Amino acid sequence: MPTRWGGRDRFVVLETSLGDGQWLQRARAAWLADPRRCDRLWLIAITTPATGHDALPSGLLPQGAVLTPGWHTWHQEHRGADGCSQSLTLQLGVGTPAELLPGLQASVDAFFLRDLDLGLDLSLPLLARLNRLAAPGATVLASVASRSVCRVREALTQAQFEVVESAGESSPQPDEATLSARFAPRHVPAPHPGGLWPEAEAPLRHAIVIGAGLAGAAAADALTRQGWRVTLLDAASGPAQGASGNPGGLFHSIVHAEDGLHARAHRSAALATWDRAHPWVASGVLTGQCEGLLRLDPKQDASGAARLLARQPRLNEHVTWLDEAQAQARSGLSVGSGGWLFAQAGWIDPPGFTRLLLEAAGQRRSAHGPLLDARWGAKVASIQRNAAGRWQALDASGQVLTEAPSLVLAAAGHTPGLLDTLPADQAVDHLPLSEVRGQVSVLPAGSGQVLPRLPVAGGGYALALPNGRLLCGATTQHHDPFAGVRDADHRHNLSQAARLGAWLGPTPGWVSQSTTLPPPQEGATDTALPEGLSGRVGWRATTPDRLPLVGALPWSAERLAAGVHPRREQVRLLPRERQAQGGLFVLSGLGSRGLTWSVLSADLLAHWVTGSPCPVEADLRDALDPARFLARQAARSPAARSASTTAATTASHTSP
Per-residue pLDDT tens digits for 468-484: 999 999 999 999 999 99
Q: Which band of pLDDT confidence, cut at 50, 70 and 90, is reported for residue 54?
A: low
Q: Which band of pLDDT confidence, cut at 50, 70 and 90, is reported for residue 519?
A: very low
Nearest to 10 by CA among 636, 625, 606, 646: 606
Integer Cα distance of 79 and 85 in angstroms: 5
pLDDT at 647: 43
Q: Which band of pLDDT confidence, cut at 50, 70 and 90, is reported for residue 513?
A: very low
Q: What is the pLDDT of residues 197-254, one digit of tens each?
A: 999 999 999 999 999 999 999 999 999 999 999 999 999 999 999 989 999 999 999 9
pLDDT at 148: 82
Q: Which band of pLDDT confidence, cut at 50, 70 and 90, is reported for residue 126?
A: confident
Burial class (CB in 10 A: 0-12, 13-18, 19+), 221: buried
Q: Are 356 and 214 in contact (CB under 8 A)?
A: no
Give Rg (Cα) of the chain. 26
pLDDT at 169: 46
In the predicted model, what is the mean pLDDT of residues 9-20? 91
Q: What is the pLDDT of residues 139-175, one digit of tens each?
A: 999 888 888 888 889 999 999 999 987 643 445 556 7
Least confident of 171-185, 283-297, 462-476: 171-185
pLDDT over 90 for what percent of the chain? 77
> C-alpha distances in angstroms, 434 versus 94, 515, 580, 599, 628?
36, 17, 32, 22, 17
End-to-end CA distance of the chain: 46
pLDDT at 524: 47
Considering the chain, what is the average pLDDT of its residues?
Answer: 90
Q: Which band of pLDDT confidence, cut at 50, 70 and 90, is reported for residue 7?
A: confident
Nearest to 163 by CA among 145, 133, 142, 147: 142
pLDDT at 1: 74
DSSP H helix total and E strand total for the chain: 17, 32
Domains and CATH numbers, the chain: 2-183 (3.40.50.150), 202-242+351-433+545-651 (3.50.50.60), 287-348+434-535 (3.30.9.10)
Q: What share of the chain is helix, strand, coil (3-state, %, to 5)?
A: 35, 25, 40
Higher pLDDT, 519 or 497: 497
386 φ, ψ to 5°? -85, 180
Residue 650 has pLDDT above 70, yes or no: no
Least confident of 533-537, 605-609, 634-638: 634-638
Q: Which band of pLDDT confidence, cut at 50, 70 and 90, is reported for residue 124?
A: confident
In one letter, which amino acid is 377?
Answer: G
In the predicted model, what is the mean pLDDT of residues 363-368? 96
Element (H, E) at 230: strand 229-234
Q: What is the pLDDT of residues 19-29, one digit of tens each?
A: 778 888 899 99
Nearest to 346 by CA among 273, 251, 260: 251
pLDDT at 58: 72
Q: Is the pTM of this model over 0.95?
A: no
> How many Cβ atoms are within 10 Å of 418's Cβ, its own excluded?
18
pLDDT at 166: 61
Total residues found in the chain within this entry: 656
